[in-house]
Each structure stands twice: as structure tokens, then as C-alpha cells.
Amino acid sequence: MIPEIEQKTAAEIRAFQTKKLKKQLAYLQAHSPYYQQIFQQEKIDISDIHSLEDLGKLPITTKEDLLQNNADFFCVSTEKIIDYSSTSGTTGKPVNFGMTENDLERLAYNEAISFACAGIKKTDTVQLMTTMDRRFMAGLAYFLGLRKLGAAVIRTGSGIPALQWESILSHRPKYLISVPSFLLKLIDYAEKNNIDLNTCGVKAAICIGEPLRTQDFKLSALAKRITEKWNIQLFSTYASTEMCSAFTECEYFKGGHQHPELIITEVLDDNNQPVKPGEIGEFTITTLGVEALPLLRYKTGDLVKLHEEPCECGRNTPRVGPVIGRAKQMIKYKGTTLFPPAIHNVLNQFEEILKHLIFLKTNNLGLDEVVVKILSEDMSAEFIENLKEAFQAKIRVIPNIEFITSTEMNKILQTHKNRKPRWVIDER
């Protein structure tokens, strides 16, 4: 089930998106209090926009704009909203989102074609191991997408390995939707309870929240630890509430596919200029066809690389590589520049580490400081040496390492409670 437009040539896709963009701009002009004001202030004439290259003539939207003017971004009256959700607020106050009937239909379509990209079919059974409530748009999107595909869903929600396994063994789902680190917990439970991982019928997991691949599309340390014990395929997805769209990998695992009927993507530098093809920049999106809270040139804060060569699966749409890091969470440390996912990847190599948190701080000289707090089964001097060597080899710097107890870890996690797994705490 590959939508026709995704198999067209790059030029045809651009022409198609230009048409959609013009429609979207007319909609913003007519219905968005926020963009009406911005267009007027910046003397934007939307009839000047004739191609995707003209996007540069339009203003960008930042997270701060959205947070400060949240209500003005709504294009419909509250009677038309049938579902409310919000961003996770990982880096601050959450932003409120609402969806109309058509938005929910668009969300279902988005997720159905994304799941189809990962190979899910009508006849498959899928165990949904994320929350659907807590104003979480993705959980709802998964359910609606599977419903649209016609697949069977088992809504087990997050956590509780015993329940997950009881359900896997009785319904034999082919696919799981999960946070990758939770799959390690399932493996652990299976090993302790004599469950044979490789005959349980699970073929693949669609994963959210944590990086599964390195920039050259090799398995991350976390993905390796999962697949060494459990012979399943792991599909990465990239999505956010603001994008109202998902980027999911196909069977060739070369980044998440863009759906051109739903979203326009740009990769911009610090001056809001497009980077050269294949270079790293900030992922910037324009939603298409969203009624309640559409966004124009929204800078997501995520640093990524776009891969534009056609994919072997038959889709000619660009693919987004694994997120390198959040632009705001860049660390200048001991002469190098690095991002938390690289540190996360080193820590994930070690089975001894049960949980870890990466703290970003500013020291009294005003410089960045990194402290990793670790709950570990092994706290020996030898283990610390191994850890330091791994940091030196992989990222060329060694952060401060502190062991903490399970009680201390839970206390920290309690104060930083979130829907998504939390492994970075930026205190700068």
C-alpha cells in the first residue's frame, strides 16, 4: 500500500506539494489569528509563493512563538475540536493541541500508511505497548492507524511485563509498538520465566522515543542488545505532536519516509537558510491539510540529515536520518561538540547499567559540564575503567561518572515524570 504520489518523480512531488502549500497558505490567511498578524507585520503577500523554493520568503515559527501565542494558533472554534492533546513538555511547558474530525481522519491515514511502510498488513495482530491517554497524540494515532489498516490491536499500554507476555503468548501478535528499552525488560522477564523469545511469534517491533540506528544506519548499542537475544526486526519512527505526521522506516531501514501529502520538510542552518544536500541542520516542517492547529515553517529543534536518493522500496520521498540531537542540548565539552544521544549510545552498551541519566550543567566558569548518574550492578574500579575506555573510544571525552542507588534514581525520575522515557536532564 504505497500511495501513488510517493512513487512519482521528485519534480512531480514538488509540484504536488507546491499546490498543497498554496492551499495551506490561503487557509492560514483566512483562519489563523497568529499567521494573519505575522503576515501583516512582515508584509507577506501569499500570492508571491510559486514554488517550494519560495518558502524562504515566509517567516519561520519557533517553539517559543507557539508557546507564547498558543491560543492564536488555533484556526477553528472549540465546537469543532473533538480531541485535545499536548506536547510532552520535555523541554518546558507543554503546548496544547486540538484536532477536528478531519484532523483525526488525517492522523489515521498518516499512521496507516506509516505502518504499511513498516510492513504491517490488514491480517496482522499488533500489541500496542504505549499509553493512549495522558494527552498523548501518538498513542491515539497508533490505534486509529491500525484501525484504518484493518489490523487487530491489543491495547496493553505501557509497562507490566507479566501482562505483556501473557498477552503475547495468548494472542501471538506479529508486531509490537514499544519504547526500545522496554523490550530489554521483556527479554529479562522472558529469561527469568522460561519463555522462548524466538518461538513466541513476534516478528518485529515499531519503536518510539530512543535512537535505534547510528548516522550510517547501523544498529545502535541498544538495538544490538535487543536483537542479540531476540531475533526481531526493529523499525524506527520519528514523529511529534507539532508535526501531526510520522516518519517511519521501511524494510530497507534507511531513515523514516516522508509522506508528501501531509508535510513539507526543510533542513535549515542557524540563519534559517537551507543546508546543502546531505548536511546536518534543524528539521523544519510545514503541515499540510491540518485544520485545527496548522504550522508554517516550524523549527522542531531536532538536528537531522535528510536522505533524498530514491529508496529500494519504491518510494521516492526523502527520508529523515536518526536525530543527532536537539539543537538546544548541544554540549561544548573539553574541546568537542557533542549531543546526549551519543552518550546514551555508549551507556547502552553495558548490560550492568540498569538505568542511567545524563545531566547537563553549567560549571562555575560558565562552561558545559556533563554528569552521568548510573544505577549499576557493577561498581568496581575495573568496570569504571571499561566505561571510561568506551567513552574515550566512542566520543573522545569522558564525562563525570557517579553511581547512585535505586532510591535516588527513582526520586529523580519522580520529579521529572514524563510520558516518554527520560534520560537527559538539562539544568543549564
What is the binding site for Zn ion (CB under 5 A)? 250, 252, 311, 313, 315
Provide the minimum distance between the beta carbon of 138 and Zn ion in the complex, in angstroms, as a whole number: 21
Provide the minimum distance between the beta carbon of 233 and Zn ion in the complex, in angstroms, as a whole number: 14
Provide the minimum distance between the beta carbon of 209 and Zn ion in the complex, in angstroms, as a whole number: 22
Asked if 265 and 300 count as a contact pair (C-beta separation under 8 A), the reply is no
Q: Give 38 or 250: the residue with its C-beta nearer to Zn ion.
A: 250
Provide the minimum distance between the beta carbon of 352 and Zn ion in the complex, in angstroms, as a whole number: 37
DSSP classification of residue 52: G
Asked if 115 and 174 count as a contact pair (C-beta separation under 8 A), the reply is no
Alpha helices in 32-100 (DSSP H): 33-41, 63-68
Q: Give 175 or 333: the residue with its C-beta nearer to Zn ion.
A: 175
Q: Give 313 or 390: the residue with its C-beta nearer to Zn ion.
A: 313
Q: Give 149 or 331: the residue with its C-beta nearer to Zn ion.
A: 149
For 113, how many CA atoms within 13 A lie in the half-sphere containing its CB?
21
Q: Rounded to whole angstroms, how far apart are CA atoms 266 and 275?
A: 9
Q: Give 84 or 252: the residue with its C-beta nearer to Zn ion.
A: 252
Asked if 320 and 238 count as a contact pair (C-beta separation under 8 A), the reply is yes
Provide the minimum distance between the beta carbon of 212 and Zn ion in the complex, in angstroms, as a whole number: 16
Q: Give 120 or 311: the residue with its C-beta nearer to Zn ion.
A: 311
Q: Give 205 or 250: the residue with its C-beta nearer to Zn ion.
A: 250
Provide the minimum distance between the beta carbon of 267 and Zn ion in the complex, in angstroms, as a whole number: 19
Q: What are the φ/ψ torsions at residue 63 (nearest 5 degrees)?
A: -55, -40
Q: What are the φ/ψ torsions at residue 333 (nearest 5 degrees)?
A: -140, 120
| Chain-centre distance for alpha carbon 136 | 13
Q: Give 171 or 254: the residue with its C-beta nearer to Zn ion.
A: 254
Provide the minimum distance between the beta carbon of 247 and Zn ion in the complex, in angstroms, as a whole number: 11
Helices 180-192/161-171 angle, 10° precision: 80
Q: Give 114 or 241: the residue with its C-beta nearer to Zn ion.
A: 114
DSSP labels, 353-405: EEEEEEEEEE-TTS-EEEEEEEEES---HHHHHHHHHHHHHHHS---EEEE--
Sign of CA dihedral 398, 402, 408, 412: negative
Q: Rounded to whole angstroms, how far apart are CA atoms 63 and 66?
A: 5
Provide the minimum distance between the beta carbon of 317 and Zn ion in the complex, in angstroms, as a whole number: 8
Residue 363 corresponds to which cell in the numbers above? Answer: 560549571
Q: Rounded to whole angstroms, how far apart are CA atoms 100 and 326?
A: 30
Provide the minimum distance between the beta carbon of 191 and Zn ion in the complex, in angstroms, as a whole number: 34
Provide the minimum distance between the beta carbon of 215 and Zn ion in the complex, in angstroms, as a whole number: 17
Residue 359 corresponds to which cell in the numbers above? Answer: 545531566
Sign of CA dihedral 276, 393, 319, 254: positive
Q: Give 4 or 133: the residue with its C-beta nearer to Zn ion.
A: 4
Q: Rounded to whole angstroms, how far apart are CA atoms 206 and 177?
A: 5
